[in-house]
Every structure is written in C-alpha cells, then in structure tokens.
Structure 1
Amino acid sequence: MHILMIECNPNGIAGIANALELGHDVTLVSVDPDFYLSVSPLTEAAYAHPNCQVVKSEQAFSLDELTDLARRLHEAKPIHGVTTYSEYHTVHTAAVAEALGLPGMSVDGARNARHKHLTRTTLAGTGIRQPRFAVATDPAEVEAAVREVGFPCVAKPSDGTASLHVLHLKDEADLREYLAELAQVADYGRGVVRIPEIVIEEFVTGELISVESCVLAGGEVVNLGLTDRSLSGFPYFIEMGLTYFSGHPLQEELFAATTAVLNGLGVDFGFIHTEWLLGPDGPVLCEVNGRLAGGIVPTLMEITSGVDPYLEVIRQALGERPELAFPRETTASGHWFGSPVAGTVEAIGFDALTDLPGFHSALGYKKPGTAVNRLSRSNFDWIGHIIFTGGDRDEAAKRCQDGLDRIDLRLSVEVAR
C-alpha cells in the first residue's frame, strides 16, 4: 500500500519507519525534509529505505498546490491513504484525502478543530463549557478584545501549536509587550503562514488534562484514556510532565463532553487530542487537535496499552479499523527538560537513571555543539525527555520527578564581564 504523509513531526518519524518496516511505500511531502534529519535519529534510515520517497515542495502549505501535487503523485503511483502527524497540516490532509476519494476527516471538521476561533464560535451556545472569549481578526483589534474579556486573560494565535505565542496577560504592560512580539510573527517556519485571528480568553485556573480519542469510520467516537499535564514557565504555558492513564474521578464526564465537542465540530475521523481545564465549576474546553497527540504521548500510550498509535494512524488512513490504545495495568509517565540558561550543549547523559525503578527510556534532542535557549517560552525550548513506568499514576509521575535530578546536562555558557 502507498501512504502519502503530508509533513510530519519529530516523533512521528517512528510511524514512517514502522510503515516501511511493514512493507508499505511512503511518500513524505515537506517544505524542508532536512528538518527531520536534525530532530529524529530514525530519519536517515527512513529516507534511505527503497520504499521511501521524499518530495520537497515549497508549496506544501498551499492547499491548491498541494492537492495538484498529490494528484500527480497518485497518477504516477496510486495512493491508498493520506495522513499526517503535524498539527499545522490537518486541514491539508483532509483536503487531499477528499480530493483523492480516500478515508479522512471532513475538511470543515478539520478546520473547526485546527482554528481555535472556529472551535469557540462553532460551539458557542451548544452547552459546552468554554471560557469567555473574544476574537480579534486583526492585530489592531486585540486591545479591544482584551477589554471585552478583561484581565487576567490568555492570548493565543488561532492557528498556533506547542504553546507558541500563548501568554497570560495580567495588565496593560503585558498587553503592550505581547502586541509588540506578535507584530514580528508572520509565520511559524517551514512554510507555515500564520492566519491573522487571535483569540483572547478568560483565564481559567485548574488542572490541565486531555482526552485521547479515535473517531472511527462512520463518526463513532471512542474515548481511550486521559493524559494529565504539568505546566511550567508562567506567564507562558510550557508542557513539562504528563502521564497516560485511566480512572480519573471526572473521566466519564470528560469522555461524554469530548464526544459532544467532536460531534459539534464535525470531527468525524481519526485520532484526536482534546484538552480540558478542570475549573472550579467543572471541565472547561481548552482546545481540540484533530490529530494524534504530539510529543511523547503516543509513546506513553504504547507502553501503557501495548498498541502503537503511530502505526494505527496509518492503518486507519488505509481504510482499516485501527487497534485502540486503551490503558492497561502499567502506567507510563514522561517529563521533558530544558536548560536553565542559554548556552551550548557539551553533553546530555542518562547513565545515572538506568538503575532507577521503572526507568524506561531517555532521549536528548540536542547534539554536542548545539546552541540552546533557556527554557522559558514554549515547548520548542525542550532539549530532552525521560520516561518511567509505575503501578499507577502517582508512582510513575514521582519516579519521573526523581529521575530529573539524575540527568547529567553539561553546557558551555558565556559569562558577561
């Protein structure tokens, strides 16, 4: 079978590698294929595989150009499935699947999930609990939107991801700084152009938790499990730790609300990641991602369930019924880490972790000689992660916390004189 992968993400290269191992042909379309060589140790071997074709296209983010390219690829070698692991390309994937008559999410559903302002406006008045919000369609309208919602509030680009340019605003000074920063952001890199809409939302306090789901062909929503999340870097929102598990006291309410959200948005196919804030009055919808959870969540799902979600995404795109990653006895927890200061990586070592109870794996993302920023603004500041298992959520998470102290991170830092 021939799979068209429209961009990817660093961890998603594992899905491409798995598909190749199973004998599938994979064509990856990317604005910058070399990017994946720098972020995943699996990329070089995947690119060298005889069944892998890498197509570099400067127009991969243009729906019309991408659809034309997909039709040409399909004529040369019939495509049987279209998918992505990239948040930026979920609408593109849906559009190409529709154009080729292949399984996929409705384009409207993909767009409603992808663009946060459409999520908010589509669900307004449906009974889904959301924060008070206002949408600015132009940077000049942001100040008025903040006035409407009031301080404190959260500002976020409608099409952002990885907490990039998401900021807690407490006063006028924060607002001025945010507007100045946003004025410099025209795109997210790798050909991804930012849309103008900015969402201003009421600041809701409470635990952040996500529901991992799969919408089967025909629109049946199956909720799989929960991923808790710890945040750092306030007033920015950087995800630092997480555990994939089952059994939260609000699980049934969260599952029912997630089903209502996906149905309301028209999200009718694929693995979906829906985030909730557990506010004082109950769960409040944070956002919906119309694709498999990012980061190391799929790895935690596989450890906990025995099912590889990356591979199931591909199987579903090929028209097969995916195997579903329900949590079982073992609980997996992960924690990212970054640098306390800007500098250049000399070494990242994990030898002191390997004998700790529950240690599963660890990975440093930066090679020696790589310059890194201080962990401060977004998930892009991560420089590695560790994963531990335990008998339950608390044990697995505690083992991760203990393991952080054993990481050997060495940096060279310029000292001001």
Structure 2
Amino acid sequence: MHILMIECNPNGIAGIADALALGHDVTFVSADPDFYLGASPLAEAAFAHDRCDVIKSTEAFSIDELERLAKEINAQKPVHGVMTYSEYHTVHAASVARSLGLPGMSVEGALNARHKHRTRLTLEKTDVRQPRFVSVADPKDMAAAVHKIGFPCVVKPSDGTASLHVLLLRDDQELTDYLAELAKVDDYGRGVTRIPEIVVEEFVEGELVSVEACVLQSGEIVNLGITDRNLSGFPYFIEMGLTYFRGHPLQDELFAMNEKVLKGLGVDFGFIHAEYILAEGGPVLCEVNGRLTGGIVPQLMELSSGVNAYLEVIRQALGEKPELPVPGDVIAGGHWFGSPVDGEIVSIGFDKLQGTPGFVEALAYAKPGRTVSRLSKSNFDWLGHLIYTGKDRDEATGRVRAALDDIDFNLSVKVAR
C-alpha cells in the first residue's frame, strides 16, 4: 500500500519506519526534511529506504498547492492513505484525503479542532464547560479583551502547539511584553505561517488531563484512556510528566464529556487527543487536537496495551479498522527534563538508571557541545526524557520522578564577573 505522509513530528518518524518495515511505500512531503534529520535518530535510515520518497516542497503549507502535489503523486503511484502526526497539518491531511476520495476527518471538523478560537466558538452555546473567553484577531483589541476577562488570564495563539507562546498574564505590563514578543512570530518553522487569532481566556485552576480517543470510520467514538499531565514553569505552561492509564475517579464524566466535544466539533475520524482541566466544579475543556497524542505518550500506550498506536493511525488511514491501545495491567509513566540554567552541555548520562525497577528508557535529545537555555518557556526546552512502568499510576509516577535525581547532567556555565 502507498501512504502519503504530510509532515510529521520527531517521534512520529517511528511510524514511518514501522510502515516501511511492514512493506508499505511512503511518500513524505515536507517543507524542511532536514528538520527531522536533526530531531529524530530514525529519520536518516527511513528517508534513505528504497520504498520511501521524500519530497521537499516549500509551498506545502498552502492547501491548494498541497492538493495539486498530492494529485500529481497519486497519478504517478496511486495513494491508498493520507495521514499526518503533526498538529500543524491536520487540516492539510483532511483536505488532501477529501480531494483524493480517501478516508479522513471532515475538513470542517479538522478546522474546528485545529484552531482554538473555532473550538471555543463552536461549543459556546452547548453544555460543554469552557473557560470564559474572547477571540481577538487584531492586537489592538487585546487590552480590551484581557480587561473583559480580568487578571490573571491565559493568552494563546489560536493555532499554536506544544505550549509555545501560551502565557499566564498577571498585569498590563506582561500583556505589553507578550504582544511585543508575539509580533516577532510570523511562522512556526517548516513553512507554517501563524494566523492572527489569539484566544484570551480566564485562568482555570486544576489538574490537567487528556482523554485519548479514536473515532472509527463508522463514526463511533471510542475513549481509550486518560493521560495525566503535570505542568511546571508558570507563567508558562510546560508539560513535564505524565502517565497513561484507566481508572481515574472522573473517568466516566470525562469520557461522556469527550463524546459531546467531538460530536459538537464534527470530529468524525481518527485518533484524537483532547485536554481537560479538572476544576472545582467539574472538567473544563482546555483544547482538542485532531491527531494522535504526541511526545512520548504513544510509547506509554504501547507499553501498557501492547498496541503500536503509530501503526494503527496508518492502518485506519488505509481504511482498515484499527486495533485500539486501551491501557492494560501495566501502567507506563514518563518525565521530561531540561536545564536549570543557560549553558553548554558537557555530558548527559543515565548509568545509574540501568536495571532499576520498571526502567524502560532514558533518552537525551541534545549532544555534548550544544548550547541550551534554561527550561522556562515551552516544551521545546526539553533536553530528554525517562520512561518507567509500574503496577499502577502511583508506582510508575514515583519511579520516574525518583530517577530524575540520578541523571548525570554536566553543564558548562559562564559566570559573570
């Protein structure tokens, strides 16, 4: 079978590698293929595979150009499935699938999930709990929107991801500084241009969790499990640790709410990742992502369920009924780490972790000699992760947090004189 992959994410390169190993052909379209070579250890071998065609297109973020290119690719070698693991490209994948008559999410549903202001506005008159919000398209209207919501409030680009440019504002000076920084951001890399809409919403306190789900081709919504998400770094929102499991005290309420959200948005196909804040009065919708959950969560899914979620996304795109990664008896947890200060990496070692109970993986993203900044603003500040398993959520979480103290992290720091 021939799979058309529109961009990806670094962890998703594993899905390309797995598809090739199963004998599928993959055509990978990207505005910047070199980005993946520097971000994933699997990319070089995957891109060099004789059944993998890598097409560089600097215009790939234009849906019209992408659809033209997809039809050209399809004419040369019929495409059987269209997909992406990239949050930035969910609407693109849906549009191309529609243009080729292949399985995919409705474009309207993809747009409603992709753009946070559309999510809020579409669900505004339903009984889905959301923060009070104002959608702003012109920076000149930001001050009025912020004062309407009141401090503290959260501001976020409507089309952002990985907590990039998401900030808790506490006063007018922070608003001024935020707008000055955001004015410098025209794109997110790989040709992804930023849309003007910004969402201003009330700050809702509570634990952050996500519901991982799959909408089958029949339209049936299957809630798979819950991922708890520990945040750090206020006024920024950086995800630091998580576990994937079933049995949360609010699971039934979360699953029922998730079905309302997905139906209300018109999200009708594929693996879905939706985040909720567990506020005092009940779950509040944070955001919806119309694709498989990112980061290391697919690994946690496979450790707990035995199902490779990356491959199941591909199988579903090819029109097959996917096997679903429902958590099992083993619970997997992960934790990211970063640098406490700016400096240059001398070494990152994990020797003390080898053989400890539940240890699965320790991975550094940065090599010695790289200059790094303090973990402070977004998930892009991560320098590596650890993964452990346990018999339950508490054991897995406890093991991975304890292991953080045994990372051998050496940094060269300039001292001001």
Residue type matched to 1:55 in 2?
A: I
User: CA deviation digits over 1:260-295, x for unaligned, max 9?
Assistant: 100000000000000000001000000000000010
Whether 1:266 and 2:266 are equivalent positions in the alignment is yes
Structure 2 counterpart of 1:372:
372
Structure 2 counterpart of 1:255:
255
Structure 1 counterpart of 2:283:
283
Structure 2 length as normaliser, TM-score? 0.99
Residue type matched to 2:328 in 1?
A: R
Whether 1:395 and 2:395 are equivalent positions in the alignment is yes
Residue type matched to 1:341 in 2?
A: V
**In the aligned structure 2, how far is the partner of 1:65 from the partner of 1:178?**
33
Structure 2 counterpart of 1:124:
124
Residue type matched to 1:354 in 2?
A: Q
Shift of residue 180 of structure 1? Answer: 1.2
Shift of residue 232 of structure 1? Answer: 0.6
Structure 2 counterpart of 1:60:
60
**In the aligned structure 1, how far is the partner of 2:216 from the partner of 2:222?**
7
**In the aligned structure 1, how far is the partner of 2:323 from the partner of 2:122?**
31
Structure 2 counterpart of 1:154:
154
Residue type matched to 2:325 in 1?
A: A
Whether 1:72 and 2:72 are equivalent positions in the alignment is yes
Shift of residue 312 of structure 1? Answer: 0.3
Residue type matched to 2:142 in 1?
A: V
Residue type matched to 1:372 in 2?
A: V
**In the aligned structure 2, how far is the partner of 1:44 from the partner of 1:32?**
14
**In the aligned structure 2, how far is the partner of 1:32 from the partner of 1:320?**
30
**In the aligned structure 1, how far is the partner of 2:319 from the partner of 2:289?**
21
Structure 1 counterpart of 2:292:
292
* Unmatched 5+ stretches in structure 1: none
Whether 1:93 and 2:93 are equivalent positions in the alignment is yes
**In the aligned structure 2, how far is the partner of 1:310 from the partner of 1:416?**
47
1:98-177 equivalent positions in 2, closer than 5 A: 98-177=98-177
**In the aligned structure 1, how far is the partner of 2:192 from the partner of 2:143?**
26
Shift of residue 182 of structure 1? Answer: 1.1
**In the aligned structure 2, how far is the partner of 1:366 from the partner of 1:74?**
38
Q: Find the residue that maps to 2:134 and give its secondary structure.
A: strand
User: CA deviation digits over 1:70-100, x for unaligned, max 9?
Assistant: 0100001110000000000000000000000
Structure 2 counterpart of 1:241:
241
**In the aligned structure 1, how far is the partner of 2:409 from the partner of 2:310?**
30
Q: Percent identity, aligned pairs only?
A: 70
**In the aligned structure 1, how far is the partner of 2:208 from the partner of 2:109?**
24
**In the aligned structure 2, how far is the partner of 1:347 from the partner of 1:138?**
45
Shift of residue 23 of structure 1? Answer: 0.1
**In the aligned structure 2, how far is the partner of 1:126 from the partner of 1:292?**
25
Shift of residue 355 of structure 1? Answer: 2.2
User: CA deviation digits over 1:284-309, x for unaligned, max 9?
Assistant: 00000000001001000010100000
Residue type matched to 2:196 in 1?
A: P
Q: Find the residue that maps to 2:377 and give its secondary structure.
A: coil
**In the aligned structure 2, how far is the partner of 1:31 from the partner of 1:295?**
21
1:37-56 equivalent positions in 2, closer than 5 A: 37-56=37-56
**In the aligned structure 2, how far is the partner of 1:52 from the partner of 1:105?**
25
Residue type matched to 2:272 in 1?
A: I
User: CA deviation digits over 1:363-385, x for unaligned, max 9?
Assistant: 10011222211100000000100
Shift of residue 339 of structure 1? Answer: 0.6
* Unmatched 5+ stretches in structure 2: none
Q: Find the residue that maps to 1:228 and give its secondary structure.
A: strand
Structure 1 counterpart of 2:359:
359
Structure 1 residue ranges, 4+ long, deviating more than 6 angstroms after superposition: none
Q: Find the residue that maps to 1:405 and give its secondary structure.
A: helix
Whether 1:306 and 2:306 are equivalent positions in the alignment is yes
Q: Find the residue that maps to 2:122 and give its secondary structure.
A: helix
Shift of residue 189 of structure 1? Answer: 1.2
**In the aligned structure 2, how far is the partner of 1:75 from the partner of 1:372?**
45
**In the aligned structure 1, how far is the partner of 2:50 from the partner of 2:108?**
36
Shift of residue 230 of structure 1? Answer: 0.4
Residue type matched to 2:60 in 1?
A: A
User: CA deviation digits over 1:225-265, x for unaligned, max 9?
Assistant: 00001001110000000000000110000000000100000
**In the aligned structure 2, how far is the partner of 1:408 from the partner of 1:44?**
28
Structure 2 counterpart of 1:342:
342
Shift of residue 344 of structure 1? Answer: 1.6
Q: Find the residue that maps to 2:47 and give its secondary structure.
A: helix
Structure 1 length as normaliser, TM-score? 0.99
Shift of residue 106 of structure 1? Answer: 0.2
**In the aligned structure 1, how far is the partner of 2:372 from the partner of 2:314?**
34
**In the aligned structure 2, how far is the partner of 1:330 from the partner of 1:198?**
40
Q: Find the residue that maps to 2:406 and give its secondary structure.
A: coil
